[in-house]
Structures are given as C-alpha cells and as structure tokens.
Amino acid sequence: MDKIRFLLCLFAGLQVNGQERWQNEYDHVLSFACPSLSSISKIVSKHDNHHEDRIWDFSCKDTFESSPQCFWSPYANYFDEYLSYSCPDNYVMSGMESYHENKHEDRRWKFYCCRDYKYCNSHCQWTPHVNNFDEEFTWYVPHMNYLVGVSSYHENKHEDRRWQYMYCSRQPC
C-alpha cells in the first residue's frame, strides 16, 4: 500500500515523505504544463538567497470536457521589470515556463493558455500579493475558479519577485 501511495503522491505533485516534488532546480529552466484536460490549481514556490532564485511546483485539476485549444505566449517580461500577463478572454492557464539568468538574478516568463468553447470566464479578480520577498508560498486557486493571469514585480535589493494571481469563475457561453 505504501508503494501505491508513494506513486500516487509523486504523480499528483504532492509531498512524499515530507519532500516537495519541484518542477525545476535553482538557476535552471522551468517548463510545466498540466495534462491536456486540466489547468493549474495550486502553485508552490520557495526562494533561496544563495541562488537568488525560486523553485516551483504546481498541481492541476480537471477543467475541460474535450481537448482544448491551447498556445504558449511569447515571453511576457524582461529581466528586472514588471510582469503582467493574462490569458485571452475565456482561456485559463494550464502551464508556465521560465528561464533564469544569474546576471540579473531574475526570470523571464511565458504561459500556456487553453480554452474549450463551451465555457466563458466571469467574475474575475486579482489576489493581493501572495508572498513577501524571500518567502516561500503556497497558493490555491479558489474552489470553482480557474487561474487566468499573473502579475509580479522584481526588487533588486532582494533579487526576488512578489506575486499576484487573477482567477475567474466559468459559466456556459
């Protein structure tokens, strides 16, 4: 039974024996996309002052009834600059990709947005900042809602970003 629980937790991106399963290493590329019928439901991130970078993990939830139409955005920010990206109307976020550069101690980001044409987004809102600089955080997309956007700003003093997320409910179009 323990082997089955271990494999289920590993597959779901949950803690296994108290250890998070991270999707990247410090100073390395992050490339994450949910399985085809799902979108991001949880974001976990941990900052390290030695590397001046973050590691990331994500969980996904069932979102689509049939294969959605998806695309990767271009890079949405430059190093050390403000980042604000929202998927187009009625799309939800199903993945994130970034790379780190030591010269800037920052990341450039792009996002994977998906849509099925049966549902439209409504009642969208931004979170307050979910972290302070140099702080680990775990953020869950609120129940019955879907992640659609991200915003963050970088501060050179901390060589880190503070994050906000936009989420929406969905209804039949």
- Per-residue model confidence as pLDDT tens digits over 87-132: 999 999 999 999 999 999 999 999 999 999 999 999 999 999 999 9
* Distance from chain centroid for Cα 79: 18
Tens-place pLDDT, residues 40-96: 999 999 999 999 999 999 999 999 999 999 999 999 999 999 999 999 999 999 999
- 105 torsion bin: left (phi>0), alpha (psi -120 to 50), beta (else): left
Positive/negative CA dihedral, 166, 51, 32, 156: positive
Q: Which of 24, 161, 156, 141 is nearest to 83 (CA)?
A: 161
Q: Which H/E stretch holds residue 164?
A: strand 160-172
Domain ranges for the chain: 22-172
Q: Which residues of 47-86 are buried (b: 16+ CB within 10 A; e: fewer)?
A: beeebbbbbbbbbbbebbeeebebeebebebeeeeebebb
d(Cα 113, Cα 118) in Å, to the nearest integer?
16
Find the length of the chain: 173
